[in-house]
A and B are shown apart, each in its own frame.
Chain A
Amino acid sequence: MKRNVLPGLPLSLGITLFYVGLIVVLPLAALVFKAASLGPAEYWAIVSSPRAVASYRVTVLSALVATAFNLVFGLALAWVLVRYRFPGRRIVDAIVDLPFALPTAVAGIALTTLFASNGWFGSLLAPLGIKVAYTPLGIMVAMCFTSLPFIVRTVQPVLEDLDPALEEAAQSLGGSDSAIFVRVILPLLMPALLAGLSLSFARSLGEFGAIIFIAGNQPMETEITALLAFIRLEEYDYQAAAAIASVLLITAFLMLAATNLLQARALRYTARS
């Protein structure tokens, strides 16, 4: 019984289970319980109401656009930070984490001020007929900001550890830069990219603080799902709040499951027969 050498299992596991139970599991269970206490018909009526559906649409579409942007930008930024040396690189590397460290409310008012029609960027875009603040574009900007570090930080270490011999081998076999990138480097980054992608998308779906300042929050147009749940609460419509929150919760769980599946697929070549 080698495993029983170390002491402290009952205490540490006890604390862990108590804490996780009280802080994480109990509230989520209460939420599910509350949502489940609605009859199926009632539940369906709430979650499929036009306003709710409109909120899903704007949330998911904005999150998709923001994630697509971050996919390209995050990959490029990770590449630049790992592969190139230039003055200020370390500062850029550090500042990438700002969206994680900056409270979302602070980011929200800062981005709104920048992109309002009289702001630094908003006033430049207004003559082109582009409105950012108080439009779905604003939601996308806020989502881009808050989920920006995910892809950079998942891809960066993998890119750093990529065996240079693989690239050299591909070069010695006559591969052009683009062929090597597409056929060798990108597939090897794929598991990390997928992980970052799903974290980034999940964060965008759930983001609240940074968005509500810049979104304008017009029902049917710029109202995100998280805000709709919040509004139902303020209207003391607890059942609707529970139902809509449960949609967000289920989506988050589905995202987690999908990520794990995708990653397992992307890594199938490491499986030994």
Chain B
Amino acid sequence: MKIRLDQVVKTFDTFRAVHGVSLDIESGQLVALLGPSGSGKTTILRMVAGLEYADGGHIYFGDQDATDIPVRDRGVGFVFQHYALFPHMTVAENIAFGMKVSKTKRSKSEIATRVEELLRLVKLEGLGDRFPGQISGGQRQRVALARALAVDPKVLLLDEPFGALDANVRRDLRRWLREIHDELGITTLFVTHDQEEALDLADRVVILDQGRIVQEGTPAEVCRAPNSAFVMRFLGDANRISANVRDGRAYIGETVIDAPSSSDGPIDIYLRPGDVDWRPEGDGISATIVRVLDRPGGRRVLANVEGGTALEFDVPPETDVRSGQHGRLLIKRSRLYPA
């Protein structure tokens, strides 16, 4: 099922949560809505579900205008942030709920068979008789997914699906959700504030800020070509260095970087920690090491460059760096945004 949002607007009292968002989601895609809190991502998801009504604009499911269809008739599966499992029903009863209340009548044995099937799909065979209070957070998450899938939704929506879980459970569930998606091929939209989660899982990532889409694309597109300083910073650690552009060249002290498409004047240069090479001497920006942080995969160096700007970069684990050391930084990659 293809989903299309056309100029969707939502206001709560006086707070404009979503400003005219337009978005196309192709059938069968797995799409992440990524943004900081207050960016409107959950509101958009709830409007797609029909848990909120848009104040303006339209939401289409395929060719059908779904803007005003109530949630119960919209045919979406929704997985809530805290799962919203019915605490007084067993796992199996939770999964069966949608089939029991459905207008299409199913026999008891039919429902039981389907519940078993879903329990197998989410790898919870044998836990059908437990109550939600008796299973772990990760298991609850999978029950919530099974319950949402039980009604054969046209679209699957997940609100911060891994937000309440421990880091290692989170990583496992992420891969597993991707497998389930590939198996079922159901159009899926999920909300997250965790960029790693979005990049790991999604076919396309939609980055939101203050109720607007700031960039959308494949993980490769948004990682390689962030279109704004906000996206650059939001996707990962980034250093900012102020510079001046003259005649298509940016000057950081003595160091010069090509800036062919920038107009003259002040500019911000953004560097990832892996975008520079450290060398004790030679060309580059002169820098003084302030601290070295050791991490499992390498060493993170905190340094001050000339002009006093603080900078973080990574070096391989065997590199000999010490605080107080002077050296040079060679910029391998950088992105320029207007200051």
Residue of A nearest to B87 (CB): A269
CB of B10 within 8 Å of the partner chain:
no
Question: B253 to nearest A CB, angstroms?
Answer: 55
CB of A174 within 8 Å of the partner chain:
yes
Evaluate contact between B133 and A171: CB separation under 8 angstroms.
Answer: no
CB of A187 within 8 Å of the partner chain:
yes
| With A168-B71, A174-B101, A175-B72 as contacts: A271 and B88 at CB distance below 8 Å | no
Complex partner residue of B77 from A172, A184, A187, CB under 8 angstroms:
A172
Evaluate contact between B102 and A165: CB separation under 8 angstroms.
Answer: no
CB of B82 within 8 Å of the partner chain:
yes
Evaluate contact between B78 and A172: CB separation under 8 angstroms.
Answer: yes
Could you tell me the distance between the alpha carbons of A246 and B281 in the complex, rounded to whole angstroms?
99
Evaluate contact between B87 and A270: CB separation under 8 angstroms.
Answer: yes
Could you tell me the distance between the alpha carbons of A269 and B85 in the complex, rounded to whole angstroms?
12
Contact with B along A165-189 (1 / 0, CB 8 A): 1101111111110011001100110
Evaluate contact between B133 and A165: CB separation under 8 angstroms.
Answer: no
Evaluate contact between B80 and A168: CB separation under 8 angstroms.
Answer: yes
Question: B19 to nearest A CB, angstroms?
Answer: 24
Task: Classify the secondary structure of A's interface with B.
Answer: helix
Could you tell me the distance between the alpha carbons of A183 and B99 in the complex, rounded to whole angstroms?
13
Question: A45 to nearest B CB, angstroms?
Answer: 48
CB of A90 within 8 Å of the partner chain:
no
CB of A273 within 8 Å of the partner chain:
yes
Evaluate contact between A176 and B101: CB separation under 8 angstroms.
Answer: yes
Evaluate contact between A187 and B71: CB separation under 8 angstroms.
Answer: no
CB of B34 within 8 Å of the partner chain:
no
Could you tell me the distance between the alpha carbons of A188 and B150 in the complex, rounded to whole angstroms?
23
Evaluate contact between B78 and A174: CB separation under 8 angstroms.
Answer: no
CB of B337 within 8 Å of the partner chain:
no
Residue of B nearest to A179 (CB): B101
| With A168-B51, A168-B80, A271-B133 as contacts: A173 and B87 at CB distance below 8 Å | no
CB of A234 within 8 Å of the partner chain:
no
Evaluate contact between A188 and B151: CB separation under 8 angstroms.
Answer: no
Complex partner residue of B97 from A163, A173, A176, A270, CB under 8 angstroms:
A173
Residues of A within 8 A of B100 (CB): 183
Residues of B within 8 A of A188 (CB): 87-88
Evaluate contact between B88 and A172: CB separation under 8 angstroms.
Answer: no
CB of B234 within 8 Å of the partner chain:
no
Residue of A nearest to B132 (CB): A269
CB of B131 within 8 Å of the partner chain:
yes
Residues of A within 8 A of B130 (CB): 273
Residue of A nearest to B131 (CB): A269
Complex partner residue of B134 from A169, A172, A180, A272, CB under 8 angstroms:
A272
Question: B155 to nearest A CB, angstroms?
Answer: 11
Evaluate contact between A169 and B72: CB separation under 8 angstroms.
Answer: no
In B74-89, the 8 Å CB interface with A consists of: 74, 76-78, 80-82, 84-89
Number of interface residues of B (CB under 8 A): 35
Residues of A within 8 A of B71 (CB): 168, 171-172
Complex partner residue of B72 from A165, A166, A176, A190, CB under 8 angstroms:
A176
Question: B137 to nearest A CB, angstroms?
Answer: 13
Evaluate contact between B103 and A174: CB separation under 8 angstroms.
Answer: yes
Evaluate contact between A172 and B51: CB separation under 8 angstroms.
Answer: yes
Complex partner residue of A270 from B84, B133, B151, CB under 8 angstroms:
B133
Evaluate contact between A165 and B84: CB separation under 8 angstroms.
Answer: yes
CB of B147 within 8 Å of the partner chain:
yes
Could you tell me the distance between the alpha carbons of A179 and B97 in the complex, rounded to whole angstroms?
10
Evaluate contact between B88 and A187: CB separation under 8 angstroms.
Answer: yes
| With A163-B84, A166-B84, A188-B87 as contacts: A172 and B101 at CB distance below 8 Å | no
Residues of B within 8 A of A168 (CB): 51, 71, 78, 80, 84
Question: A230 to nearest B CB, angstroms?
Answer: 44
Could you tell me the distance between the alpha carbons of A172 and B149 in the complex, rounded to whole angstroms?
11
Could you tell me the distance between the alpha carbons of A56 and B103 in the complex, rounded to whole angstroms?
48
Interface residues of A (CB under 8 A from B): 163, 165-166, 168-176, 179-180, 183-184, 187-188, 190, 269-273
Q: Which A-B residue pairs are the 6 nearest by beta carbons?
A: A173-B98, A165-B84, A169-B84, A175-B101, A172-B78, A269-B131
Interface residues of B (CB under 8 A from A): 49-51, 70-74, 76-78, 80-82, 84-89, 97-98, 100-103, 130-134, 147-148, 150-151
Besides A175-B98, A187-B88, 10 more A-B contacts (Cβ < 8 Å) are A166-B86, A168-B78, A169-B86, A170-B101, A172-B49, A172-B77, A173-B101, A175-B101, A269-B87, A271-B134
A-B contact pairs, 14 of them (CB 8 A): A165-B81, A166-B86, A169-B86, A169-B147, A170-B86, A171-B72, A172-B72, A173-B97, A173-B98, A174-B72, A175-B101, A188-B87, A188-B88, A271-B133
